[in-house]
Structure 1
Amino acid sequence: MYYKVLVFWCLFIFGCVYCQVLQQRDLVKKLVCIEHEECGSCLSAASHCRWCADPYYPSAAPRCNDDQSLVAFGCGQGMIERPDKPVWEVMENNSLQDMLPDGLAAVQIQPQRIKLSLKARETKKIKFQYRPAKNYPLDLYYLMDLTWSMKDDKKTLVSLRDDLPEMLKNLTDNFRLGFGSFAEKPIMPFISVDPGRRANPCSVEEEDCEATYSYKHHLSLTNQVNDFIESVNSSSVTANLDNAEAQLDALVQAITCGNRIGWGTHSRKIIILLSDGLLHTAGDGKLGGASLKNDETCHLDENGYYSEAAKYDYPSIAQVYRLLDKYKVNVIFAVTESVKDHYDSLHQLLSDFTYIAKLESDSSNILKLVKMGYEDIVSVVNFEDDASAGAVKVKYFTDCGVKGGSLIETHRCTGVEYGMTLNYEAHVTLESCPEFKKMQQTITISESQLGQDSLTLEIYIQCGCACASDNIKDMSLTCPLHSHLVCGVCQCNKGWSGPKCDCSIEDEAASAALLSQCREPNSTRLMTCSGAGDCLCGKCECDRGFSGKYCQCKDCEISRLNGMECGGVGHGACVCGLCACEAGWSGEACDCTDNVDNCIPPGDEAVCSGHGDCVCGMCECASTTDGMKYSGMFCETCATCENPLCANAEPCVLCHLNNNCTETCSIGGLNYTVSERLQENPNVNDIPCILRREEAGLDCEYRYTYNAAEQAMISMEIVIRSKECFQPTTAKILTSALITMACVILGGVIIILAVKSAQIVSDRRAYAKFLQEAQESRKNMQELNPLYISPISQFTLPESFPRDK
């Protein structure tokens, strides 16, 4: 009986606590809504917030609340404003295709048009593909410096009559050629104003040439190579005084005069500029009276000459950059060694659209430069968009065409080849509502060097309301002066504020009378708007980082997952500095998921392999029985145990090495991708594995890593990092034995030689010592013999004997 009572009270206490938790959660959900006073901000606050647009709704009750509360306060179902349904529709989705012989345009990006909707703090991911089309049309316009020093280069270009079409056909079957030339502005001090020199600037060389001009268009784009050669051959050189020419003048005219040049609607546009001189830029033209800023428009007369060269100044580098970007034109600067450094500096400013190549003095390598420049230009894919002017922001993630490669955040890929398919993922985000009204924004995503193929996004920004009550004409609901009815409440017109919309925002005296309405009730602080905002006509305008009616609330935590407040739509909403999380999410920033799917390893059902706990969608590993710690993304391995995921992945690695797999490998209903990146270092989260097998009589060791896949329908990504091959084990043993035996024999020989040498040295020393001792013995014996008589006689003079005699 005692145990039954104990169980009853335990259940009762648990029920009370659970009910209290539910009540607390419902209260927080209500607080998310009730602080909002406009329909647009109400519906943007959280997914469960609703707005009552009934004009007769009780003024004391909050109009922004959940469904049940609004109905309880007397709001009819027909007057409750709810968030619009999400919009997602692929409007145009043509398959990728190369340029066809029948003239059908190539398709390089898929899909082409999508219609979608966005709410505040919402991100939608858009997948699209890009593949460079083979035989894409090429419009190549030769823009040549025809001053006196380039006369030999013109002859070289004419001599390429047969080689030029062959080279271009190797690049694309659809090409057209055009021709133009440039020299210098025909004004002093760039040319001589002497009438004779003006008519024939080459008279000092005793040659005839054409009068100086800034730019001349000779031949519009055509596929007739003979016409191009004849146009170049018939052109005349000219001359000027300085070593700088009007390259930028000519570029602007060649870019903007599309009708005269003949640029194609769907083509890759390339200008190859040949010169051996420096270039003039903005400001230089003012020396000769060309004082007007370049107007970036076409000014060609009926003969193809730039007619306003003496009126407009040279363009600036910034103007040229804008035009190259606007018209999607690339420029190959083929210049001589003497001026290449100058053009290298220019290329740094125009790097997105230019290529620099060294031109031989006679232009003999021009075909090689065209080929190299073209290949360099087409190998770069760079996506851009026009979203900067609106509230929507776009981020790009791509694998740059690497099969099985993970997506990285970048919009530019290099080393792209024909046939490569680049997978992109655009993250389209509306961080906040610029205005609380419904709007539409169109964003075009296009490849920066072409611009013809694009992905168009029709985005419906769901930030406002379209309330049926706005059409009510009941005079009893007339709003005060300077206001109008919006979704059941009277809102002040622009420039007016206050409870009765009688306070002009510009009227400081009227605003001061309403300061008390900007102070939080029952607050000991006398500061208006909690010291975190300005009081305008009785209403607080909060500083950045603060919110609430009295600016009493700080902004909430930013999610580490997507950088949005409280994780954005579907994760949680901010309630006066605290995040109110949706079901399935927790944490201070609602970035901790309760879903354990990411903690279950492929081919297994146990969470974290049974060796840990799933916390916020990631495994926290436990310790083994010997005190070590499990490791890996799924706590699948340790220092003393075998990794089961390596064993699961091994068949797919073998399948890849044997070339028996397509892009994906399926085992046991799970899909894997295998790629080789032998030069890259593994990431921190990649788990290492080793595969050993025999190849061509050698034992090869493959080191590979695996990681959870980011691609849909793919369970794991496997990357082979290194390969090392050795001789087989039996050969290793035999080789080691032979080496050991050789070392032993060699060591024995060395020891024997050393011992023998030591003996010889020792004997020689002993014999020398014996000889020395024998000699000493004979000497001593002679001195001590009593019968020995010395043969030497010695006589000494007396001291008194006279020495001088």
Structure 2
Amino acid sequence: MAFVAFSLAIGFLLILGSSGNKETEHQPDNCKHTLSCSECIKSHPSCVWCSAKNFTQGGESEGSRCATRPELLQRGCDEEHMIDPQGLVDIVADAPLSDNADQDTITQLAPQKVHLKLRPGEKTKFQVRFKRAEGYPIDLYYLMDLSYSMKDDLENVKKLGSDIQQVLHKVTKSVQIGFGSFVDKTVLPYVNTVKSQLRNPCPSRTERCQPPFSYRHVLSLTSNLTLLQQRVSAENISGNLDSPEGGLDAILQAAVCTDHIGWRNVTRLLVFASDDVFHMAGDGKLAGIYIPTDGRCHLNENGEYVHSNMYDYPSVGHLAQILSATNIQPIFAVTSNVLPTYEGLCELIPKSAVGELKEDSSNVVNLISQAYNNLSSTVNLEHVNLPKGIHISYDSHCPDSTTEGQPQGLCSGVKINQMVDFDVTLWMDKKSCQDGMQSFQLRVLGFNEEINVNFEPLCDCKCSDEEVFSNHCNGGLGNYSCGICSCIDGYRGKHCECQQNKHDTDVNCITMGSLPCNGRGRCECGRCACNQNVRGEFCECDNASCERNEGQVCGGPSRGVCSCGSCKCNSNYTGSACGCSLDTSACKTPSGICSGSGKCECNKCVCDKGYFNKLCSECPGCQTLCQKHSGCAECKAFRTGPLRDNCTLSCAHVNVTMMKASESSGEDRDGWCQEKTEDTLITFHVTEDKGVVHILVQEKEENAFQTNNLIVGLVLGISLLGLLIIVLYRVTIELYDRQEYQRFVKERNKERWNDAQNPLYKSATTTVMNPNFIQE
């Protein structure tokens, strides 16, 4: 048992130690000992530079000008000389959001242009609004698998043009539809390269199929339904060898060949219809094709993908990037046998949808309608071209929910003309200071509008005290700016008072036989230039050696600062490490400080002997205030109880006042006591004043125990009566049922059925005798 207790104790100490370390890690680091204002403000958002002339004292390095605002204030730096650049959000363009698409300029995303000033490590936030405008135009490109297994689907697709346009006209007046088809790469092992099979890849020679091809753009986006039906009706089925198709090749070419397809800057939908899986990057090696796709358009004048056999299939990641860049939302209409594969593909491609296609594609119109509604009601806000060193997070305020700190903004179920808000938070690293003015874009997937965000790093100090060859710098041997001298070549020191070609002597930096500058700095020009957190003529004061509280020196700037090895606490803290708060709010209770059973030290209760918990309100074995004075309350008010024979002597310091129950019914009952006596309950309130106890006792109105007994007896009587009624009812029903059953049995025995054969009855079988059959 001793070993177990010891192990638990060690484990508890380790947990405390680790939690303490974690807490320390979350505390902001002290500002670094920097020698310039720009390095100071880049070190941490809480660091401030003091540019006051002659601010540093004897032995203090100029790097001590970099500190937190409370520390600099305590050291005597006024607000006028504090360099503390703050981030800024400037909304440059913010056009109102449109309600419908009938206007010349449709605005669904605001603001349109934002200018920011960012300080390294400081978070800056601005708001983005989005509202779906009614009637936003749609471009739909139908991309169909023409391998032989889709033969029956092609016949239905030839009739779909008007149906698709009719469905989309319910949400917008401007609809354009295009068409393209694909099979696979025209080399082994994807297609049969025998000449006869290349001419007619159909399984039966009596059936005509068009030669196989990779991808062919048939019709650019148009609102002419007659032309659409003519061009699609002229298409014929083709064929290939293996099951996977070249669909990813076709999607990529349809996405990047903007001029051939005729994409407008509107909602772009690409419907991909197939009944099989797809080839992806790496599969081309089966045919000796190893060059990765370059992501460019390779369609000839006839709309054919001419370099299909040169480039490998695209990877899913490359395809997702292309679709996102071109703002195209794919809808995968596939049969049930490959539905799980395309559901997995949708998880990798943003703003995509998948639906189950019937074997003959008869439900494709409803599938497109449902997929479009799902895509258009989902709002994805994302960033594009985000520079290195810039970090971003989104808080999404949706109609039914709110999410915070996500890598992208996302709201689902957004209706037309319903506005959603996003809070965009930015912060930057120090390395972004080297690049000057930068920009990136925010956009909602599926829409062509963008927010242009320009940001300017705040990495340099703009001080108003600049002097070239200042007299403050030893008569013009340096430039003065932000409170310090930048010496010309050959000179150094706070005021450029030392020549670098002359050796310094350490004699003036040594005291009492110690090391130069006590080993806490370096000797420059016969003076000590102390290290960080050290000051004094000989660096004798260490401002980092004070006691720590909660992982910080002197409890942190909000509690006190370290001055030459000892803590100087702020007005509301005390103690050697400023860890003791003079506030008493955490000790207050309705019964007084620490329930009257302790004293408040450092805003925590120190309980009297026997009492414990946070407010000293528990004491096993101790009498409570109610128990302590209940005897005197009873004997003086009602002349009953254990003290009734000795009440005057035992309760000489107690004053009792009677009051009616009606007079106290509306008062606050907190602090009132109820104690059980021989035959009743007494209610009273106790206060103490300078050793005299005042008890306010409520008069008895009735014997509580008699009342309780009467109520209990009444409840039991009603319960027994109800139980008796239920038993009588059940017995009556049982007797009646038995009587009816006996009568039924008697009547059943009297029944007599007619056994005569029905003259209309005919047997289900017929027997025919062979007249030539001779039976032995």
Give how far 1:251 is off. 0.8
- Check whether the contact 1:33–1:65 (CA below 8 A) recurs between aligned residues: no
Q: Matched residues in 2 for 1:114 and 1:317: separation?
A: 34
* Correspondence list, 1:175-574, <5 A: 175-202=175-202, 204-265=204-265, 267-350=266-349, 352-386=350-384, 389-402=387-400, 408-410=404-406, 411-430=409-428, 433-434=430-431, 439-447=436-444, 449-450=445-446, 452-465=448-461, 472=468, 488-489=485-486, 522=518
Give how far 1:406 is off. 5.7
Write the letter of the residue equivalent to 1:359. L
Give how far 1:749 is off. 4.2
Comparing 389-398 with 45-54, greater Cα deviation is found at 45-54
- Check whether the contact 1:571–1:585 (CA below 8 A) recurs between aligned residues: no
Give how far 1:108 is off. 1.8
Give how far 1:520 is off. 11
Give how far 1:273 is off. 0.7
Give how far 1:359 is off. 1.1
Measured against aligned partners, the alpha-carbon deviations of 1:149-207 in whole angstroms (never above 9, x if no partner) come to 22221210122344222211123222211111001111122222222222232374323
SS in 2 for 1:389: coil
Q: Matched residues in 2 for 1:558 and 1:379: separation?
A: 50
Q: Does 1:747 align with 2:733?
A: no
* Correspondence list, 1:31-50, <5 A: 35-44=33-42, 49-50=48-49
Measured against aligned partners, the alpha-carbon deviations of 1:635-654 in whole angstroms (never above 9, x if no partner) come to xxxx989xxxxxxxxxxxxx
Measured against aligned partners, the alpha-carbon deviations of 1:24-74 in whole angstroms (never above 9, x if no partner) come to xxxxxxx97793212212345577833559999999765463999999x9x
- Check whether the contact 1:88–1:114 (CA below 8 A) recurs between aligned residues: yes
- Check whether the contact 1:46–1:573 (CA below 8 A) recurs between aligned residues: no
SS in 2 for 1:456: strand
Q: Matched residues in 2 for 1:183 and 1:110: separation?
A: 43
Give how far 1:583 is off. 12
Residues 341 and 88 of structure 1: is their aligned pair in 2 closer, same or farther, counting only changes over 3 Å?
A: closer
- Where structure 1 has 5 or more consecutive residues not aligned to the other structure, the ranges are 1-30, 480-484, 493-498, 503-518, 526-537, 541-549, 560-564, 595-612, 628-638, 642-737, 758-805
SS in 2 for 1:205: coil
- Where structure 2 has 5 or more consecutive residues not aligned to the other structure, the ranges are 1-28, 490-495, 501-514, 522-529, 533-541, 583-599, 604-613, 619-623, 627-667, 671-717, 738-776
SS in 2 for 1:133: coil
Number of equivalenced pairs:
531
SS in 1 for 2:190: coil
Measured against aligned partners, the alpha-carbon deviations of 1:457-503 in whole angstroms (never above 9, x if no partner) come to 32222122356898948999789xxxxx99843699xxxxxx99x9x
Write the letter of the residue equivalent to 2:100. M
Residues 196 and 621 of structure 1: is their aligned pair in 2 closer, same or farther, counting only changes over 3 Å?
A: farther
Q: Does 1:99 align with 2:96?
A: no
Give how far 1:285 is off. 1.6
Residues 48 and 486 of structure 1: is their aligned pair in 2 closer, same or farther, counting only changes over 3 Å?
A: closer
Q: Does 1:122 align with 2:122?
A: yes
Q: Matched residues in 2 for 1:383 and 1:740: separation?
A: 70
Q: Matched residues in 1 for 2:303 and 2:154: separation?
A: 19
Residues 491 and 120 of structure 1: is their aligned pair in 2 closer, same or farther, counting only changes over 3 Å?
A: farther
* Correspondence list, 1:560-599, <5 A: none
Give how far 1:216 is off. 0.5
Residues 582 and 396 of structure 1: is their aligned pair in 2 closer, same or farther, counting only changes over 3 Å?
A: farther
Q: Matched residues in 1 for 2:291 and 2:219: separation?
A: 29
- Check whether the contact 2:214–2:305 (CA below 8 A) recurs between aligned residues: yes
Residues 621 and 255 of structure 1: is their aligned pair in 2 closer, same or farther, counting only changes over 3 Å?
A: farther
Match of 1:135 in 2: 135
Q: Matched residues in 1 for 2:180 and 2:186: separation?
A: 17
- Check whether the contact 2:88–2:124 (CA below 8 A) recurs between aligned residues: no
TM-score, length-scaled by structure 2:
0.56
Over aligned residues, Cα RMSD in angstroms? 5.7
SS in 2 for 1:278: coil
Write the letter of the residue equivalent to 1:343. Y
Write the letter of the residue equivalent to 2:98. Q
Measured against aligned partners, the alpha-carbon deviations of 1:780-803 in whole angstroms (never above 9, x if no partner) come to xxxxxxxxxxxxxxxxxxxxxxxx
SS in 2 for 1:239: coil
* Correspondence list, 1:64-103, <5 A: 65=65, 82-84=83-85, 87-103=88-104
Residues 339 and 406 of structure 1: is their aligned pair in 2 closer, same or farther, counting only changes over 3 Å?
A: closer
Residues 419 and 56 of structure 1: is their aligned pair in 2 closer, same or farther, counting only changes over 3 Å?
A: closer
- Check whether the contact 2:165–2:175 (CA below 8 A) recurs between aligned residues: no
- Check whether the contact 2:351–2:446 (CA below 8 A) recurs between aligned residues: no
Give how far 1:141 is off. 0.5
Match of 1:647 in 2: none
Give how far 1:567 is off. 14
Residues 86 and 315 of structure 1: is their aligned pair in 2 closer, same or farther, counting only changes over 3 Å?
A: closer
Measured against aligned partners, the alpha-carbon deviations of 1:98-118 in whole angstroms (never above 9, x if no partner) come to 33324432x222222222323
Q: Matched residues in 2 for 1:751 and 1:169: separation?
A: 74
Residues 301 and 575 of structure 1: is their aligned pair in 2 closer, same or farther, counting only changes over 3 Å?
A: farther
Write the letter of the residue equivalent to 1:50. W
Give how far 1:224 is off. 2.0
Measured against aligned partners, the alpha-carbon deviations of 1:699-737 in whole angstroms (never above 9, x if no partner) come to xxxxxxxxxxxxxxxxxxxxxxxxxxxxxxxxxxxxxxx
Match of 1:164 in 2: 164
Write the letter of the residue equivalent to 1:257. C
Q: Matched residues in 1 for 2:330 and 2:118: separation?
A: 39
Q: Matched residues in 1 for 2:248 and 2:319: separation?
A: 7
Identity of aligned residues (%): 25
Q: Matched residues in 2 for 1:749 and 1:355: separation?
A: 66
Give how far 1:300 is off. 0.5
- Check whether the contact 1:133–1:419 (CA below 8 A) recurs between aligned residues: yes
Give how far 1:271 is off. 0.8
Give how far 1:575 is off. 9.4
- Check whether the contact 1:395–1:427 (CA below 8 A) recurs between aligned residues: yes
TM-score, length-scaled by structure 1:
0.55
Give how far 1:218 is off. 0.9
- Check whether the contact 2:389–2:432 (CA below 8 A) recurs between aligned residues: no
